[in-house]
Structure 1
Amino acid sequence: MEYHSVQWNETSMEFCTGRDFPLVDPALGAEFTTIRLSTVADVERAVTTARAAGSGWRRTGWDDRARLLRSTAKRIRDDVDAIAAVLTQEQGKTLKESRIETLRCADTFDFYADDAFDSRPEIRELDGKRSWVTKRPVGVVAAIVPWNFPLTLLSNKLVPALAAGNAVVVKPAQTTPLATRVVLAHLREAGLPEGVVTAVLGEADVGRALVAHPDVDMVSFTGSTETGRAIMAVAAGRVKRLALELGGSDALIVDADADLDGAAKATAIGRFFNCGQACIAVKRVFVHRVVVDEFVEKLGARVDRLVVGDGRTPGVLVGPQHTDRQRQHTVGLIDDAVDQGAAVLRGGGIPGEEVLQRGYFVEPTILTSVPENARLMKEESFGPVVPVIEVESIPEAVARANASEFGLGSSLWSRSPANIRMAIESLEAGYTWVNEIAIDFDGLPFGGVKQSGFGKERGRESIDEFRVAKSVVAPENTDVLA
């Protein structure tokens, strides 16, 4: 099947000479093609190529960089339907979700093409001296991307790194490389010099070789906290710069005076979009006791309208889990909670419909009376299951939200200015939404605290992650900046 309008040129960007690896359609549970993975020797070639090409790219003027980013954005938008079809087949999300992600990727290319991100010397005032701060590229960046949002998380790393003048070695998840291939092909066709971006595919040995390589100056990674810790250990030997966006267990808090329709909508979107497979997603809901019954009724009504199935089928709103292993993990979290006394209000396991037996589907699930020691309350859940927990007050809800080791996102639905101020100040998270659906924006920094990692994606803060600042002091009559 021909998926896209740009042919992939394996010789110029991708370094993969290893074993064959099957790609599986999550909605069908069946292999649909194979790819070749990289070897450790391929990593060496990919990094060396990027290092050699990077010196020219860092000297490329801002106008040329910005023009290339805007051209790539247009190409992606023009190819959105084909890219979305690829993404749905390899990842499992619905076509609507794939279109949203593809267009969001294009938006990120446009966002960092803005002249505001040009790196100009910043004058600083010193008595009797002339001083300024310059910023230069880090060098070669390893961008390690997971499978849940292959294009969103690719663009969050790749685009600001390129805009800052870096060369990049991309490592997509080996289960979702195809949409990434198309985007990189569009980037190359837009005029990116050969070698500035290279790509490798593989499992832990490839990732370890990439992180450890002496010519990789920075690693930008999204994935599990466990893998983030392993990357830190490997990178420590060379004191590499890191940006780590790790796990999350976001809390949504519903006050007694909240807009319950809005809160239920935010919960349904925040938990069931992409079949619950997102780092920043509603994973625990704390509801004031005086409205918990009404809230659960409204949330249940929304879940009843969710159609589960193959994401290419019109009307389907929730696709499959990405792999059978992921499905079994989600079902295990549900079973553990039920075994400890949780009540199942909706869903609860694998759908019974025969047409859904082939793929990796899980019913959208609502649980109540979930004990604190249930795995669902402590681990990061990556599936369509939401626990609703009754609380006596908003301070109690905030305290229980903060009891997690994670601190990525948080939400509050309330009309009380005092409770809103308290929650904003007290919630231990990198992002807080107040009476809003949990959507992150290009213009705002995104990143977590605690075991959710460090470093920022999106916003000006992101492009500065990929630059090194240098302070310069000279005699007052120095005129080199003219």
Structure 2
Amino acid sequence: MTYPALRTWIGGVAEESPESDGTWLHDPNTGERLAASASSTLDQVDRAVAAAQEAHDDARWRSLAPERRAEKLIALADWLDERAEEIARLDALNSGVPISITRLFGGANGGTLRDAARRAVEVGDVRDLPSTQGGVRLHRVPWGPTALILPWNAPSAMAVKKTAFALAAGATVVLKPSSFSPWSAQLLLEGVHAAGIPDGVVGLVQGSGGIGRALVADERIAAISMTGSTPTGRAIAATAAPRFARLQLELGSNNAAIVRADADLEAAAKALTDGVLKLSGQWCEAPRRVLVDRERRDELAALLIAEFGRRVIGSSLDDATEVGPVAFAARRDELAAQRDRLADAGAEVLSVSQTPAQGWFFAPTVAVLDGPGLADEVFGPMLLVGGYADEDEAVALANTGQVGLAGYVFGADEEAAAALGTRLVAGEVKVNGTSVLDMSPESAQSFFGASGLGGHGDADVLDFFVGKQVVGSDRPGLPL
């Protein structure tokens, strides 16, 4: 198959990305080189932000009624629908996520845009507020040029979600995809151009950390939405703080699962396996640590490794694959180092044996060790199982370390399990399940603890891109 050229998009024009650090994009299934990496220049970053600033200042996008913006977003949705299979294959190569899953993402991108368009029309840009004197209105005003810093684990889904809601809100944006997974963003920009979204409203820069640092450091960037690692998030927050740029940061979390005494261990093991191996283990809300009654710890560990062994491990491009490789060699190597550190700390390490020899495969692993586990996030197909004496200890362990995104509780008494879930430091706690999707159409989830700033939920995401401004006639005769 052919791969999209890594262009830089500025003012509606695709330019060459002329910089190179000598690195390559690889097939994670084999380690084969696929295409040379390419990077924008610092001058291109400057011009991309300038184009976004100009488009914000002259209001070529935000001055359109929400209904008109929605028409363009729906046109983009239709364009992406026609390329869903191509996007799925590119995402499977860029991330190592099985194509059966990337097809779900690719097929849902159009729906994401339509949902954002519908919500923006429902909310509107201006509404009248109750007032005795009349003429008081609430305006939703985009902050200004917004940087969208994208992760590598769900390339098209994250690029489309952030872009859809930013555009629905009337914001102008500059995207910076991960250098490990840049292809979906290229197609998205082609679609933006084809859909007739005005030039300069959406820009794209390519490259690794240096390009991202230049983008978020630009004084004209008024808001930053980023999904990625905690160290990167901390660096962005430090850079943005002096100018008070608005931040939405979804970072790492070693999400804990508590298995109560009344839980069905076999059912819990199956659900936990489903959760930790989704997206080849590369899912920010996956269960990472399991806490179970100490007397049943080894029993649960045996059930888990047996479940791991039943999953089909293979190429991310194979329809039958359930667990693919991780996205790049450094990700595999870091997981191996974390596994070895757990072993050095006394963990019993259980791994499946049927992992392909070539490519960036990491054998799905269960590490058995009491205590809080590693301080750094484990981002891959590895699960720590530890014991607890009582539920107070389980909660204390679950809330230790880098937490805040998600939590899980398993138990036959679902009301009691849910009550236990309210004690976890997590924005979303699921009982007896580990699905990726929200539990309700109105779900909203804040990033607690060190897991970031802001939150999930369509209303929250749309609100991030705008400030609220009240304009109207003052109330007469007020005493103060």
TM-score, normalising length: structure 2 = 0.90
Q: 1:15 to 1:455 in 2, by over 3 A?
A: farther
Q: Determine the C-alpha separation between the residues in 2 that align with 1:287 and 1:266.
A: 14
Give structure 2 stretches of 5+ with no counterpart.
Answer: none
Greater displacement, 113-122 / 52-61: 113-122
1:206 aligns with 2:200: no
User: Is the CA contact 2:9–2:189 (under 8 Å) kept in the aligned structure 1?
Assistant: no
What is the root-mean-square deviation in Å for CA atoms of aligned residues?
2.5
Contact persistence 2:371–2:397 (CA under 8 A): no
Measure the CA separation in 2 of the matches of 1:14 and 1:143. 18
Per the alignment, in what secondary structure is the counterpart of residue 208 of structure 1? Answer: helix
1:300 to 280, 302, 305: 305
How far, CA to CA, are the matches of 1:314 and 1:383 in structure 2? Answer: 21
Is 1:94 aligned to residue 120 of structure 2?
A: no
Q: Aligned AA for 1:460?
A: A
* CA distance 1:146–1:127, change in 2 (3 Å): same
- Counterpart selection for 1:66 from 48, 63, 70: 70
In the alignment, the residues of structure 2 paired with residue 181 and residue 446 of structure 1 have an alpha-carbon distance, to the nearest angstrom, of 30
> What do the CA deviations read for 1:181-228 (whole angstroms, capped 9, x no partner)?
112222321221222111001122211211121221111111111111
- Aligned partners of 2:260 and 2:417 also within 8 Å: no
CA distance in structure 2 between the partners assigned to 1:76 and 1:360 by the alignment:
29
Q: 1:127, CA displacement in angstroms?
A: 5.8
List gaps (5 residues or longer) in structure 1. 478-482
- Which deviates more, 73-82 or 456-465? 73-82
Q: Find the partner of 1:140 among 130, 142, 145.
A: 145
CA separation of 1:418/1:309 partners in 2, compared to 1, >3 Å: closer, same or farther? closer
* Structure 2 equivalent of residue 109 of structure 1: 113
Q: Quote how far apart the aligned CAs of 1:17 are.
A: 3.4
Residues 399-478 of structure 1 mapped to structure 2, 5 A cutoff: 399-416=396-413, 419-441=416-438, 443-475=442-474
Distance 1:155 1:10, change over 3 A: closer
For each residue in 1:18-70, what CA deviation from the matched residue of structure 2 results, as whole angstroms up to 9, or x when unmatched?
32352111111121112420111110111111222232001112112112222
- Partner in structure 1 of residue 348 of structure 2: 343
1:275-296, Cα deviation, whole Å (9 max, x unpaired): 2112211101112346545533
CA distance, structure 1, for counterparts of residue 15 and residue 243 of structure 2? 24
Is the partner of 2:456 in helix, strand or coil?
coil
> Residue 243 of structure 2 aligns to a residue in which SS?
coil
Match of 1:53 among 55, 65, 71: 55
- Partner residue in 2 for 1:25: 27
Give aligned pairs, total.
468
Counterpart amino acid of residue 181 in structure 1: Q
TM-score (normalizing by structure 1) = 0.90
Summarize the Cα distance change of 1:158–1:457 in structure 2 as closer, same or farther, 3 Å threshold: farther
User: Residues 2 and 9 from structure 1, CA distance in 2 versus in 1: closer, same or farther, beyond 3 angstroms?
Assistant: farther
Q: How does 1:274-423 map to 2 (within 5 A)?
A: 274-289=279-294, 291-347=296-352, 356-372=356-372, 374-375=373-374, 378-416=375-413, 419-423=416-420
Amino acid aligned to 1:46? A
C-alpha change, 1:475 and 1:370, in structure 2 (3 Å) is closer
- How far residue 14 of structure 1 moved from its aligned partner, in angstroms, is 4.7
Residue 87 of structure 2, aligned match among 63, 83, 97: 83
* Equivalent AA in structure 1 for residue 396 of structure 2: A
1:40 corresponds in structure 2 to 42
Distance apart, 1:447 and its partner CA? 4.0
- Using the TM superposition, give the Cα deviation of residue 392 of structure 1 relative to its aligned residue in structure 2, in angstroms: 2.5
Which sits farther off after the overlay, 255-264 or 357-366? 255-264
- 1:382-441 Cα shifts (integer Å, max 9, x gaps): 111101112233332222110123211111112335633532331111111122324243
| 1:272 CA displacement | 0.9
Q: How far, CA to CA, are the matches of 1:300 and 1:203 in structure 2?
A: 36
